[in-house]
Amino acid sequence: MAARKPSTRTASSKAKAPTNKDFTQEQDMSAYEDMLLIRRFEEKAGQLYGMGLIGGFCHLYIGQEAVVTGMQMCIREGEDQLLTSYRDHGHMLACGMDPKGVMAELTGRKGGLSKGKGGSMHMFSREKQFFGGHGIVGAQVPIGAGLAFANKYRGNDKVSLTYFGDGASNQGQVYESFNMASLWKLPVIFIVENNQYAMGTSVSRSSAQTDFAQRGAAFSIPGVKVDGMDVREVYAAGQDAVEHCRSGKGPIILEMNTYRYRGHSMSDPAKYRSKDEVQKMRSDHDPIEQVKQRILDKGWSDEEALKAIDKNVRETVKQAADFATNDPEPDVSELYTDILV
């Protein structure tokens, strides 16, 4: 089954259609670098997995970089909350968590962000207001609504960014959360990262209604379909959504149409889609290439300068990998710590 092409943004329900604003030079340059960091980090993680340095499940975010990067540009880092599934490395890097700490968690070392106890799927940062890293499909959704509940309760104007997949969208607790969030006007942005597949199941094989932006209609939650491969579109929709929440209008849904290039996790034979389909997404819709092309077209930078940025990013990632492979494993005494206080 062919993946649906990321469609252009169309407003539904009560959501206002955001206008397509071009990025400033500064925005394009920073988006480029941020997305590149995620891409290079994930490529390295894939390599380390292949070398046996990372174990268990490892879900890469390659292809989806524009979603979290664009959303992060809309919020106040360290104040607004975010949380997602096990496909979480990109979110952590985007919200400013230390690549060394993330990579060392992937290798299960002492210096990992969860001291090596959580692994790829389970990382958190109070400082960055990143609430995980959840291994159970859909479980983060009511938790995200709960973060928003706390914001409303305290009377601040913080927003909870609650990311989940197209597959997760079929879990009952998602709709229980929608109802409560709408009933209580909670400031939560439900971000469906529709990468067209849940493991080996395409959206059309799992969902009777594949328009995820409309999934809140029964709860009067507005929804917007967004081209999640274009960071500008993500940013524009994100700005409107954040404003919607901050101004007390309650929850909103953003359906980000995106695509994962790699397998579901490292052990995915990927027989459910064609190589052509993947290739076509990469060549026609790559989020990083789009920005790069714009930067070059506008003359904001040249190939050489962009290479230098790439080199810097690679160096950051290399340092993270070096740290993650040389850092010792956690002390055995850690087995019994952090269970209760």
Ligand X SMILES: Cc1ncc(C[n+]2csc(CCOP(=O)(O)OP(=O)(O)O)c2C)c(N)n1
**Contacts to ligand X by CB under 6 A:** 85, 87, 135-137, 165-168, 195, 197-199, 264
Q: How far is the CB of 205 from ligand X (least distance, A)?
A: 12
Phi-psi map region of 52: left, alpha, beta (phi>0 left; psi -120 to 50 alpha): left
Task: Determine if 167 is a binding residue for other proteins (CB under 8 A).
Answer: yes
207, interface contact from other proteins, Mg ion, ligand X, none, CB < 5-8 Å by kind: other proteins
Task: Determine if 81 is a binding residue for other proteins (CB under 8 A).
Answer: no
Distance CA 112, CA 98 (A): 10
Q: How far is the CB of 232 from other proteins (least distance, A)?
A: 31
Q: Which of 10, 17, 25, 55 binds other proteins (CB under 8 A)?
A: 55
- Write out the DSSP string of 250-270: --EEEEEE----S-SSTT---
Q: How far is the CB of 330 from other proteins (least distance, A)?
A: 5
Q: How far is the CB of 273 from ligand X (least distance, A)?
A: 12
Task: Determine if 67 is a binding residue for Mg ion (CB under 5 A).
Answer: no
Q: Which of 99, 101, 138, 216 binds other proteins (CB under 8 A)?
A: 138
Task: Determine if 80 is a binding residue for Mg ion (CB under 5 A).
Answer: no
Alpha helices in the chain (DSSP H): 25-50, 65-72, 89-94, 99-106, 140-154, 172-183, 203-206, 231-246, 275-285, 287-297, 303-326
Distance CA 235, CA 1 (A): 30
Task: Determine if 3 is a binding residue for Mg ion (CB under 5 A).
Answer: no
Distance CA 116, CA 176 (A): 33
Chain residues binding other proteins by CB under 8 A are 55-57, 105, 108-109, 112, 114, 116-122, 134-138, 167-168, 170-172, 198-201, 205-207, 271-272, 329-330, 332, 334-336, 339
